[in-house]
Structure formats: structure tokens, C-alpha cells
């Protein structure tokens, strides 16, 4: 279900709410970091972003696929995951609001994780008002309407019954399945990406129309760009990967001067 709210009223409700919002500070948007112990350089860049780069921010928005996979909040028992949650929690401790949206790989992130990370969960899609501009945020997988098989799976996998049944499996079963799927995904890394897996003009137009917005930010496709669409401007966030081939990564900044795409420090 689409939700909408002025950004400032949301920010006032995060942990550390005794601190006043920073009216002149920017909002940062990132996605598709795919955190795991297998990508130490990417993890180090993310740690730097949270500890150093984000220090300037009023709010940080992570629009899906924060983790390579998420099989349930009992993953918090793993030292690496606990360390990442503690790192994220430092944002709210510094009075910086953190919002996290589900991606196609980590849609099982739940209340336990959000509490550990000091984060507020955002539905997909979600409309905010940032520096006077209404912006619709999405992970992006819901816009890939040509991939009908995936859209059917997406609807099923995000249902309460399917999730309850999956989370009832022993942790080791879920972990083994996720590792197999991860291995398969890595094997397909070098294959050409089919246009079928990109967003469609129809999907984008429908979201602009339903939200009455003219600015969109999403990730998922790993094809960062600023697109001028018939109904508005669509910003695509980059994925992060500093461990395989050419260095990739970056984020969007919204402030009084507008929207800018920035590289990692």
C-alpha cells in the first residue's frame, strides 16, 4: 500500500528523537550494497560511508538489498550481521534518521533487525517531501513488469503465509538454500543482462501517475543514470561492488540545491 508523509514528521519519530532535525542538512539515498563477508572492500566502503560521509546528513535512506540475502532476523546471531546492525545504529545515536526499504534479496528484514539498527521501515513505494519536492521512492523490482514470472514470485514470497512457512524452517536449511541461490547468482554475473529484467516504461508511468509525483528514485537494476521520462525524472541508484573488477558505488544527495549523484569517498 502506498504511503505518504512529509519527511520532517517522520524524522522526528526516530530513535534519538530528543534531537532536533537539521533543517539545512541533506538527505542521502543508496541501495544495492549487498553486504556479506565475501566482499570486504565493499563492506569497508560502507562502514566509511556510515561513519564519515553520513555525518553530514539529516536522513539516510537505504532503498533495498542492504544485504546479499536475508533469511530471517535470527541472522542477528551471526557476528558479521550484528556488527553491521550496530554500525547502522550509530546513525540514530548521532541524531541522523535511518530508513530502510525491502529489496528483492532482503525482504525478510523484520522488526527485530530494524530495532537493532535503529531504523524505520519504509513500504515500497513510498512518497516523501524533501526540500519542497515530492519524491516517490522504490526498490525498483516492482517496476520490472515485463518479467511476469518474477512478479508472480514477488507477490507470493511477500505474503504472510509463505513467509511464515519459510521462517519455520530450521536456520541451517534456510542458510543452505540462500547460499545455493547466491552461488547461482554469482555464476550469472558475467552474462549479458536481458532487457526483460529492467524497468518498463509502463511500470514507471503507472507509478508516476498513481503517486502524482514527477521525481522518482530507485535501485535494483544496477544501471545508474538520470532518466528524463515523459512524466518526470527518474534517478537510478548504483549498486556497490569494490571487490570484483571495476569499482562501483555511489549515492544521491538531496539538498536545497537539488539532486546530485555522488561517488564514494
pLDDT in tens, 193-229: 567 779 999 999 999 999 999 999 999 999 999 999 9
Percent of the chain with pLDDT over 70: 86
Task: Classify residue 111: in a domain, yes or no.
Answer: yes
Counted domains in the chain: 1
What pLDDT score was predicted for residue 245? Answer: 86
Q: Which domain holds residue 168?
A: 3-15+25-258
263: in domain: no
- Residue 95 corresponds to which cell in the numbers above? 541524531
Evaluate whether residue 227 is within a structural domain. yes
Question: Cell numbers 507470493 correspond to what residue?
Answer: 156
Half-sphere exposure of 156 (CA within 13 A, CB side): 8
Residue 248 in domain: yes
Q: 253 or 174, which is more confident?
A: 253
Question: Looking at the domain assignment, is residue 241 inside a domain?
Answer: yes
pLDDT at position 183 over 90: no
The reported pLDDT for the residue numbered 2 is: 42
Q: Is residue 265 part of a domain?
A: no
Confidence of residue 178 (pLDDT cuts 50, 70, 90): confident
Task: Give the integer Cα–Cα distance in Å for 21 and 7.
Answer: 10
Per residue in 103-142, pLDDT (tens digit) is: 999 999 999 999 999 999 999 999 999 999 999 999 999 9
β-bridge partners, 217: 137, 235
Q: pTM here?
A: 0.88
CATH number at residue 55: 3.60.21.10
Amino acid at each position: 500500500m502506498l504511503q505518504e508523509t512529509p519527511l520532517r514528521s517522520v524524522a522526528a519519530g526516530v530513535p534519538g528523537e530528543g534531537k532536533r532535525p537539521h533543517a539545512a542538512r541533506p538527505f542521502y539515498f543508496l541501495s544495492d550494497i549487498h553486504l556479506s563477508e565475501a566482499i570486504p572492500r565493499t563492506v569497508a566502503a560502507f562502514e566509511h560511508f556510515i561513519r564519515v560521509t553520513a555525518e553530514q546528513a539529516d536522513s539516510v535512506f537505504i532503498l533495498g538489498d542492504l544485504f546479499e540475502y536475508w533469511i530471517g532476523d535470527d541472522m542477528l546471531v551471526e557476528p558479521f550481521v550484528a556488527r553491521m546492525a550496530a554500525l547502522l545504529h550509530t546513525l540514530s545515536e548521532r541524531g541522523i534518521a535511518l530508513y530502510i526499504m525491502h529489496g528483492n534479496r532482503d525482504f525478510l528484514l523484520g522488526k527485530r533487525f530494524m530495532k537493532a539498527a535503529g531504523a524505520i521501515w519504509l513500504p515500497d513505494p513510498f512518497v516523501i517531501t524533501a526540500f519542497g519536492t515530492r519524491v516517490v521512492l522504490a526498490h525498483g523490482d516492482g517496476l520490472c513488469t515485463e518479467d511476469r514470472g518474477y512478479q508472480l514470485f514477488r507477490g507470493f514470497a511477500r505474503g504472510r503465509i509463505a513467509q511464515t512457512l519459510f521462517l519455520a524452517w530450521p536456520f541451517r536449511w534456510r542458510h543452505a538454500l540462500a547460499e545455493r541461490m547466491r552461488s547461482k547468482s554469482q555464476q550469472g554475473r558475467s552474462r549479458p543482462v536481458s532487457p526483460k529484467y529492467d524497468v518498463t516504461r509502463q511500470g514507471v508511468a503507472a507509478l508516476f501517475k498513481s503517486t502524482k509525483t514527477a521525481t522518482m528514485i530507485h535501485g535494483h537494476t544496477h544501471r545508474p543514470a538520470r532518466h528524463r521520462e515523459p512524466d518526470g525524472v527518474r534517478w537510478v541508484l548504483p549498486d556497490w561492488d569494490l571487490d570484483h573488477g571495476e569499482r562501483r558505488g555511489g549515492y544521491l544527495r538531496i539538498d536545497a540545491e537539488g539532486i546530485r549523484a555522488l561517488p564514494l569517498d
